[in-house]
A and B are shown apart, each in its own frame.
Chain A
């Protein structure tokens, strides 16, 4: 487990890790810079939100000029989401300030008014809501109907030399997504064991993020699609974080997403020793 995307990027380049869940624009930028990686699957859809102080002066995107907004990285969908919202509301992006901040730090920064708002993935919007100091101004889907954020990135040498391992990984992620999207009970179970064993976060926080509403984060339709990535790439060029057009096939490998046939959700419930 890492605390920030720059650290993941460095570990991937140094081959300390072979697979990473990473924000899509960072993966595209790395590939454009020649780092030998490919995106093989999505992590989820939606699950990002723009959050302001609950009792603060911001009640619309038009109130954002002059404000400071935290984002996870300049290479993030959360940043692009802000640009889309600003454009839709006729607000000049130069009229506000965006600062990069590690995801775990944003809720606390908002609480002490070090920032005026943040654009971030879950569970940090939920953390601000549960803490009583944050209010979601908009969710990603309001300005981006097919929003995606984190993608699964694999080093090219692993794709070339261990394709079966990559297929097993992608199939496992797909089956986990199907299991999560089966309903509330599975999401409650996931919030418990993921919070305790993997994220080191309170299960009630993940419960909020996974169920309020039930489609706050969605784990289906995770096959990489060209229109989705062309949109991200074009937004990156428009907002100045990518200086050349890179084609879908250069940084995406869809063979693993397409290679999982007849997959079903994991069969697991609390108390089972393993999933089947």
Chain B
């Protein structure tokens, strides 16, 4: 693999990590995922609302 190719692969790898981390931070509700792993009777209830009466 040439030096240029290695740089390209490394850059793509770093970019993938950055995008994955951003997605995980912005779009994944980790609290809900963790809650789903708890026993049924220990889970918090997920309550939905719209900011409207």
Interface residues of A (CB under 8 A from B): 1-5, 8, 11-12, 16-22, 43-44, 47-48, 72, 103-104, 120-124, 149-150, 158, 161-162, 165, 169, 198-201, 209, 217
Contact = CB atoms under 8 A, between A and B. Distances in A.
Interface size class of B (residues with CB under 8 A): 10 to 19
Given A161-B40, A161-B41, A8 B48 contact: yes
B48 A19 contact: yes
A103 B52 contact: yes
B47 interface: yes
A3 B49 CA distance: 8
29 contacts: A1-B49, A1-B50, A1-B51, A2-B48, A5-B50, A16-B46, A18-B46, A18-B47, A19-B46, A19-B47, A19-B48, A20-B48, A21-B48, A21-B50, A22-B48, A47-B53, A103-B52, A121-B52, A122-B52, A123-B52, A123-B53, A149-B53, A162-B40, A162-B41, A162-B45, A165-B45, A169-B45, A198-B51, A209-B53
The prevalent SS among residues of B at the interface is loop
B53 to A, nearest CB: 3
Counting from the closest, the 5 A-B pairs by CB-CB distance are: A47-B53, A199-B51, A121-B53, A20-B48, A17-B46
Contact of A8 (B45, B50, B51, B53): B50
Nearest to A154: B45
A4 B50 contact: yes
A237 to B, nearest CB: 25
A24 to B, nearest CB: 12
